[in-house]
Structure 1
Amino acid sequence: MAKMVLLAAFVSLGGNDLSSYTRKAELTTEVEDKDVTTYASLGWKEVLGGLKSGELSLEFLQDVAATKIDSIMWPLLGTVVPFVVRLDNSAKSANNPEWTGNVLINGWNPIEGGVGDEAAVSVGYPTSGAVARAVA
């Protein structure tokens, strides 16, 4: 099995390449489990998959200068925007899959941290609609 160290992941929100601000990215997906147990299950629980959902969690280094991350994210607040993430910033391929979809920008924390901390912003955006994985 190959091993990998994340050194240059790619993160885009709303068509904006935010990789240079991003220091942590996590895309999680899940499926609800629906209990369909009956007496015929003989005491064993049976489940089927229900609705799928996901979340794109990101940690950015804050920059409030004109045209930087704060001025990019603030206008997106409350909107659904496309996202693209890859483990490496090179083109998508069989060795560098790309995950895409849409997320609701449901919050933005312009100020986060304490004395002596780096100015960072942690967010978690729910997916809206399908998440796709592509290799070409």
Structure 2
Amino acid sequence: MAKMVLLAAYVSIGGNDLSSYTRKGEVSVEVEDKDVTTYASLGWKEVLGGLKSGSLGLEFLQDVAATKIDSIMWPLLGTVVPFVVRLDQSAVSASNPEWSGNVLINGWNPIEGSVGDEASVSVEYPTSGAVTRAVA
């Protein structure tokens, strides 16, 4: 099995390349399990997949200067925007897949941290619609 270290991931939200601010990223998707157990199941639970959902979790290093992360994210609050994430900034390929879709920017934490901490912002946005995986 190949091993990998994340060194140069690519993160875009609303068409803005935010890779230079991002230090942690997570795309997660899941499917509801729907219980379809009947007496014919002979005491075994049976399930089928229901609605799919996902989220995009990110940790940014904060920068409030004009044209930086805070001024990019603040106007997006309350909107649904496209996102793109890759494990590496190089072109999309079988060895560098791309996950994309839309997320609702449902919050922004302009100030986080304690005395002596780096200024960072942690967010988790729900997906809206399908999340796709592309290899070319």
Same fold by TM (over 0.5)?
A: yes
What TM-score, normalized to structure 1? 1.00
- Report the equivalent of 1:27: 27
CA RMSD of aligned residues (A): 0.2
Distance 1:128 1:109 in 2: 21
Partner of 1:82: 82
Gaps of 5+ in 2: none
Q: CA deviation at 1:21?
A: 0.0
**3-state SS of paired residue (2:2):** coil
Paired residue for 2:105? 105
The one-character-per-residue Cα deviations of 1:77-110 (angstroms, maximum 9, x if unpaired) are 0000000000000010011000000000000000
Mapped partners of 1:40, 1:73: distance in 2: 53
Q: Which amino acid aligns with 2:97?
A: P
| % identical aligned pairs | 88
| Cα deviation code 1:31-80 (max 9, x no counterpart) | 00000000000000000000000000000000000000000000000000
Question: For residues 32-71 of structure 1, what are the structure 2 equivalents within 5 Å?
Answer: 32-71=32-71
SS for the counterpart of 1:73 is: helix
TM-score by length of 2: 1.00
SS class of match (1:78): coil
Aligned residue type for 1:121: V
- C-alpha distance in 2 between matches for 1:111 and 1:133: 33
Unaligned 5+ runs, structure 1: none
State how many pairs are aligned.
Answer: 136
